[in-house]
Amino acid sequence: MYRSGFVTVVGRPNVGKSTLLNEIVGEKISIISDKPQTTRNKIQLVYTDRDYQIVFLDTPGIQMPKNKLGEYMLKISKETLEEVDIITFMVDSSFETGRLDNYIIKELGTIKTPIILLINKIDTINKEDVEKLVLKYEQMNMFHKIIPVSAINGTNIDLYIRTVKDLLPEGPQYFPEDMITDQPERFIISEIIREKALLNLQEEVPHGIFVGIEEIKKRQEQDLIDVFATIYCEKESHKGIIIGKNGRMLKTIGQQSRSDIEKLLGSRVNLQIWVKVEKNWREKEAKVKYFGYR
Ligand SMILES: Nc1nc2c(ncn2[C@@H]2O[C@H](COP(=O)(O)OP(=O)(O)OP(=O)(O)O)[C@@H](O)[C@H]2O)c(=O)[nH]1
């Protein structure tokens, strides 16, 4: 019997959801950063084995909505929860359940989909504390299974995969086995650039940026691909910071991005990045859609 199904990983920002998916698939596709809120799209990763296929949906970190973008993110997260076969709820063992965890737990309580709880980052705490955490969550009586893991070290990830597999319903192989993501290159490239910007910029800028990819074009008869991108920011002052003194910051972001994009496309790349101010883009719902979060 072939088994297959859709699995989503939810949890508050920064718990390690992208790290988990990358560990499972073994490829760096979703964006990883130590700053919260880096995953905005549903990223689909596909894990195929001889007798089963797991399709992962990486939902945006659920957060109490503060603006239109926040509301939008919460909505897609909830929609995903109703649609999938298995929910994976990830918490971070290095801090207490906070207001947002409780909020997510309340939301999950209203949904019938089976939930696997992953207590992540157990490499940062001792064994007794892990056991205490497991007990605490067992008392909630809402999880199909509770698994302490370390996404970064790969600890107990095999147990997690087996648990998922056992819960999967009978189903077809939805995607070809060599497929690991359905995200177009354009999106992955924009995420690579955004990741490099997040890594290099100071706290006050990153979450107000969006990267648009204008064009990806292969030059005729040359092993060279031109990529034209724009970093949109919310303030004139941010534009200055992103460009940097004598264009140095933008150059660094560009060089680091180019190296990753070349690996992705398997070709030499000429990357041109512009910086534009687009005031309050987060507040404008129409813009949010226009920018492709659907
Ligand atoms: N010590 C430790 N750190 C981890 C582990 N898993 C993830 N991290 C770190 O936690 C930070 C956040 O990880 P992400 O995978 O980006 O978290 P996320 O939940 O996808 O975050 P959002 O995309 O913002 O929702 C990164 O710095 C990771 O390296 C783990 O098992 N142990």
Q: Which residue's CA is the nearest one to ligand 1's atom 26?
A: 34
* 209 C-beta closer than 6 A to ligand 1: no
Burial class (CB in 10 A: 0-12, 13-18, 19+), 142: middle
- 119 is an annotated ligand-binding site residue: no
- Write the residue with the smallest CA distance to atom 27 of ligand 1: 34
Query: Are the beta carbons of 217 and 226 closer than 8 angstroms?
Result: yes
CATH homologous superfamily for 3-167? Answer: P-loop containing nucleotide triphosphate hydrolases (3.40.50.300)
Q: Per the annotation, does 115 bind a ligand?
A: no
How many other β-carbons are positioned within 10 Å of the β-carbon of residue 63?
Answer: 17
Q: Which two tokens stand for residue 170?
A: 């009978």
Q: Which CATH class is domain 185-290?
A: alpha beta
Determine if the pTM surpasses 0.80: no
Q: Is the CB of 154 under 6 A from ligand 1?
A: no
In order along its 294 residues, the chain shows pLDDT tens digits of: 889 888 888 887 788 888 888 788 764 444 444 444 444 445 457 788 889 988 887 665 555 666 666 666 666 667 777 778 899 999 988 657 777 778 778 878 888 899 999 999 999 999 999 999 999 999 999 999 999 999 999 999 999 999 999 999 988 877 666 656 655 677 778 888 988 998 898 766 766 788 888 888 888 888 899 999 999 888 898 999 999 999 999 999 999 999 988 887 778 999 999 999 987 666 554 444 444 443
Query: CATH 3.30.300.20 residue ranges in the chain?
Result: 185-290
Q: Where in the chain is the domain with CATH 3.40.50.300?
A: 3-167
Centre of ligand 1 to C-alpha 247, Å, is 31
Edge to edge, the sheet with strand 224-233 lists 210-218, 224-233, 268-277
Cα–Cα separations (whole angstroms), residue 261 to 52, 196, 229, 265: 31, 11, 12, 6
